[in-house]
Amino acid sequence: MSKLARILLVSLSLGLSLCAGPAFSQGEDGLRLVPAPINRLDQESLQRGARDFVNYCLNCHTAKYMRYNRLEGIGLTPAQITDNLMFASQKIGDTMTVAMTAKDAAKWFPAPPPDLSVEARFRGRDWLYNYLLAFYRDDTSESGWNNLVFPNVSMPNVLWQLSGTNKLVETEYDEHEKAAGAAIAAKGLSMLEAKPGGKYAMLTVAPDVPGTMTRAQYEAFVGDLVNYLDYMAEPVKNERIHLGIIVLLFLGVLYVFAYALKREYWKDLH
Ligand code: HEC
């Protein structure tokens, strides 16, 4: 194998191993998150996510660093954006803001809904994906809801009609190792919590009352939404990925010519 080919192979495998990462991440807080099954180059998924974001999230949250016309970057035409995603009074160069003022929000919610423009960079995709799957019924909380990923969050489960309701399932073990083993065996989202008397609990959520979507449909719905949130946090990243692919293709073609040239130069010397 030529030296160049070897260098190319090594850098390729290094790149792949960096991309792959672990399947599950276990945080210091004892949370075990399911990886978000998303692809930011999938335009149809991004378009569905944008539509769902406008319909289900934008009435409380803003995305004030995102302009509507940036949605052309995910393959929507200006007409599609103005007709389907905006109020009549808004212009396509406007940012994604809401009618609710910060004052109202402070009155209605103990903690105001934060701006979600760059939320995916702050929390990460996996966190967001699991957060939207982690709501469960809790009669002791003010909103009637609680969340395994964000305990005592003041956001209600606004997607409950689609997702149905979950309940919290808590199993106690006398050792940390047994609880950790149970979390791995459960495969899904889970959390470990220290209990009095040196015991450990493995917490997870389980479906209770079904919603209008099946579990798989709801997971796909949340996947699209998180895909869009991730895109919104860094729209130009898609352009960088496309440019990267073009550069690699160019280098590949260049390699063929450079190799042919090298053979031409060296052929008389062998
Ligand atoms: C009824 C109003 C309301 C709607 C609709 C709503 N949220 Fe929220 N959301 C809140 C409030 C209030 C908080 C602040 C919770 C807190 O800090 O306790 C919040 C917090 C969040 C957070 C955590 C922010 C942080 O602290 O990092 C995320 C993420 C989030 N919402 C995403 C969404 C998404 C995605 C949707 C659309 C599916 C949505 N929200 C719809 C009210 C809402």
- Residue 113: which of 157, 60, 177 has the closest Cα? 60
Task: Report which ligand 1 atom has the smallest distance to the Cα of 154.
Answer: 18
| Residue 238 to residue 244: CA distance in whole angstroms | 10
The Cα-based distances of 144 to 213, 230, 261 in angstroms read: 21, 29, 72
pLDDT digits (tens, 9 = 90+) for 83-142: 999 987 889 999 998 877 777 887 888 888 999 999 999 999 999 999 999 999 999 998
CA of 67 from ligand 1 middle (Å) equals: 20
Check pocket membership of 100 for ligand 1, CB cut-off 6 A.
Answer: no
- Which residue out of 56, 61, 150 has the highest number of ligand 1 atoms within 8 Å of its CB and is therefore the one to mutate? 61
Mean pLDDT, the chain, whole residue set: 89
- Is 159 near ligand 1, meaning CB less than 6 Å away? yes
CB 111 within 8 A of CB 117: no
Tell me the whole-structure pTM to 2 decimals. Answer: 0.86
**Residue 2 or residue 177, greater confidence:** 177
**3-state SS of 109-156?**
CCCCCCCCCCHHHHHCHHHHHHHHHCEEECCCCCCCEEECCCCCCCCC
pLDDT, one tens digit per residue, over 185-207 is: 988 999 999 999 999 999 999 99
Ligand 1 and 230: CB distance under 6 A: no
| Confidence label for 21 from pLDDT (cuts 50, 70 and 90) | very low
What are the residues whose beta carbons fall under 8 Å from the beta carbon of 208, sequence distance 6 or more?
137, 164, 165, 166, 167
Least confident of 4-8, 163-167, 199-203, 236-240: 4-8
Pocket test for ligand 1, best of 51, 56, 60, 145 (most atoms within 8 A of CB): 60
Q: How does pLDDT run across 131-181, given as a tens digit for each residue?
A: 999 999 999 998 999 999 999 999 999 999 999 999 999 999 999 999 999
- For residue 116, count CB atoms less than 10 angstroms from its CB and return exposed for 0-12, middle for 13-18, buried for 19 or more: buried
% of the chain beyond a pLDDT of 70: 89
What is the distance in A from the centroid of ligand 1 to the CA of 13? Answer: 39
Q: What residues are paired with 137 via a beta bridge?
A: 145
CB of 131 closer than 6 angstroms to any ligand 1 atom: yes
Query: 55 CB less than 6 Å from ligand 1?
Result: no
